[in-house]
């Protein structure tokens, strides 16, 4: 039904991917893997979305990245239809911190992998995933984590994402203390452009 309304299965998949990951930037071959569609179809629909203004593009490290444009006039209604997280405010703003997912996360593959390494209370993507290098880290994980499992998971993610992932991990008490004293590293991560994959009520950045 929704594919008929929006004219293309590939277009619908792209809209779902972009609006479920409002702060993630993706390159073409990464997109084709994620939505399992032919690259020519993906390129054609990306050009359509780009011409309309729904997404923007930028080159980084000789790769062309695409990302949903949160300043687009109809960002909010489209996010209501295609996003896993519902915007809290009617105000449209430029990209910034997003509302955390409390169930399956906004990037399903990475979230599922992280949930298998222990009791994760907070998982944040930033750095090269959101093209904001200010935090100095790509992934922050907080909780009771099995270090061996996490190392194996990161290796698998690096292979799948075709990038080296710089990550930081700490237990809940350490994170709570560093948050309380406004530790520079924690504050930088929280203020950076980010994608919150997992957040318990205790460590929800929005509260």
115 and 74, same domain (yes or no): no
pLDDT in tens, 149-192: 999 999 998 888 778 999 999 999 999 999 999 999 999 999 99
Mean pLDDT over residues 104-131, rounded? 83
Instruction: Report, as an integer, the average pLDDT of 47-53.
Output: 94
pLDDT at residue number 83: 83
In a domain, 102, yes or no: no
Can you give the residue range of the structural domain that contains 170?
Answer: 108-203
Q: Taking the mean position of all CA atoms in its chain, how far away is CA 13? A: 16
- Pick the closest to residue 20 from 57, 67, 60 (CA basis): 67
pLDDT of residue 205: 81
Here the CATH number for the domain that contains residue 112 is 3.30.460
CA distances from 97 to 11, 91, 93, 161, 178 (A): 25, 14, 11, 22, 20
Q: 118 and 76 in one domain? A: no
**Which of 92 and 109 is assigned the larger pLDDT?**
109
Phi, psi of 167, deg, nearest 5:
-125, 155
111 and 105 Cβ atoms separated by less than 8 Å:
yes
Determine the pLDDT at residue 19: 92
Q: How confident is the model at residue 87 (pLDDT cuts 50, 70, 90)?
A: very low
Q: Measuring CA to CA, which residue among 30, 38, 99 is closest to residue 60?
A: 30
Question: What is the pTM for the complete model shown?
Answer: 0.70
Please, what is the average pLDDT of the chain? 84
Mean pLDDT over residues 53-70, rounded? Answer: 89
100, part of any domain: no
Question: Is the pLDDT confidence value at 84 over 80?
Answer: no
Q: How confident is the model at residue 104 (pLDDT cuts 50, 70, 90)?
A: very low
The SS3 assignment for 141 reads strand
């Amino acid at each position: 039904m929704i594919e008929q309304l929006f004219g293309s299965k590939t277009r619908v998949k792209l809209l779902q991917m972009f609006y479920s990951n409002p702060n993630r930037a993706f390159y073409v071959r990464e997109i084709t893997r994620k939505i399992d569609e032919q690259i020519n179809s993906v390129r054609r629909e990306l050009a359509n979305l780009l011409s309309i203004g729904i997404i923007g593009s930028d080159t980084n490290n000789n790769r062309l990245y695409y990302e949903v444009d949160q300043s687009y006039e109809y960002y909010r209604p489209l996010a209501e239809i295609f996003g896993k997280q519902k915007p809290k405010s009617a105000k449209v703003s430029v990209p910034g911190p997003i509302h955390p997912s409390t169930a399956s996360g906004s990037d399903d593959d990475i979230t599922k992998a992280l949930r298998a390494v222990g009791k994760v209370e907070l998982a944040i993507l930033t750095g090269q995933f959101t093209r904001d290098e200010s935090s100095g880290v790509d992934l922050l994980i907080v909780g009771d984590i099995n270090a061996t499992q996490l190392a194996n998971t990161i290796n698998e993610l690096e292979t799948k994402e075709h990038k080296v992932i710089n990550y930081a991990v700490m237990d809940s008490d350490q994170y709570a203390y560093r948050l309380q004293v406004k530790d520079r590293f924690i504050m930088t991560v929280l203020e950076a452009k980010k994608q919150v994959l997992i957040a318990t009520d205790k460590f929800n950045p929005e509260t």
